[in-house]
A = this chain, B = another copy of it.
Amino acid sequence: MLIDKTLSQFLDELASNSPAPGGGSVAALAGAAGAALASMVCNLTIGKKKYAEVQDELKAVLDQTELLRKELTQLIDKDTEAFNSVMAAFGLPKATEQEQAARATAIQEATKAATLVPLSVMQTCEKALLHAKTVAQKGNKNSASDAGVAALMLQAGCAGAALNVRINLGGLNDPSFVEQVARESAEIAQKVERTTREVMSEVEKSFGGK
């Protein structure tokens, strides 16, 4: 599994002449790193006297960011698996009309599945970003830059996943599926842009005049 490779090995495989892992898995990794940084700021806040008032709230946030981090970590491998299934469908025999029809159906099904993985990355990044906002507002001010990087990674993860949703939708011939997923993707992208701006403005406040 990709998540059992070292950073160094993962980057080597990414750069290689194999299309997988590619941008989809990187988007999920960015999201997972963003969620992990949000968890870190929670952990650096909980138990500190100065932040006693927000302790319970950040404990609840931590439970959520850890859950979302695990989901995003799993999506690193799921994206590459879904891509490989699309490739396998393209590799099916196409000698007879029957084989051609079965292959076409398999490609459509695998591409739909491969579209839903980055859509899931987008949904999960959006949820984690709302928690990153709470973390930026209420978490340890010494970790303001970490809360900011958390938001930047969740934003980039979401935007990267959106490109993968889009390239997959281009290969589908089910207009109602395409329309529905495109609409949801656009809605999430818009919300994520807005929330990221809000987090960055909180980070700015924590920096003060610096």
How many monomers of this protein are in the complex? Answer: 2
User: How many chain-A residues does the 8 Å CB contact rule pick out?
Assistant: 61
Most B-side CB within 10 Å, residue of A19, A163, A164: A163
Q: Please determine whether A149 and B6 come into contact, CB atoms closer than 8 angstroms.
A: no
CB closest chain-B residue, reference A178 = B210
Would B2 and A15 count as touching, CB distance under 8 A? Answer: no
8 A Cβ contacts from A132-179 to B = 142-146, 148-150, 152-153, 155-156, 159-160, 163-164, 166-167, 169-170
A111 at the interface (CB under 8 A from B): no
In the complex, which of the residues A23, A24, A143 has the most CB atoms of chain B within 10 Å of its own CB atom?
A: A23
One of A36-44, A49-57, A98-106 at the interface: A36-44
- In contact, A210 and B167 (Cβ under 8 angstroms): yes
- If A23-B145, A153-B26 touch, whether A11 touches B33 (CB-CB below 8 Å) is yes
Q: Does A23 contact B146, Cβ atoms closer than 8 Å?
A: yes
- Asked if A3 contacts B6 (CB within 8 A), the reply is yes
Known: A153-B30, A166-B210, A207-B170. A36 touches B23 (CB 8 A): no
- Measured CB to CB, the closest approach of chain B to A179, in angstroms, equals 13
Instruction: Tell me the dominant secondary structure on chain A's binding face.
Output: helix
* A188 proximal to B (CB < 8 A): no
Chain B: CB-nearest residue to A161: B149
With contacts A17-B44, A40-B15, A156-B155 taken as known, whether A149 is within 8 angstroms of B207 at the C-beta atoms is no
Closest Cβ of chain B to A93, distance in Å, is 22
Contact present for B152 and A159 (CB under 8 Å): yes
A26 CA / B143 CA spacing, docked (Å): 14
Contact of A7 among B23, B73, B152, B160 (CB under 8 A): B73
4 A-B pairs besides A23-B150, A27-B149, A30-B156 with CB distance below 8 A are: A3-B6, A14-B40, A24-B145, A145-B163
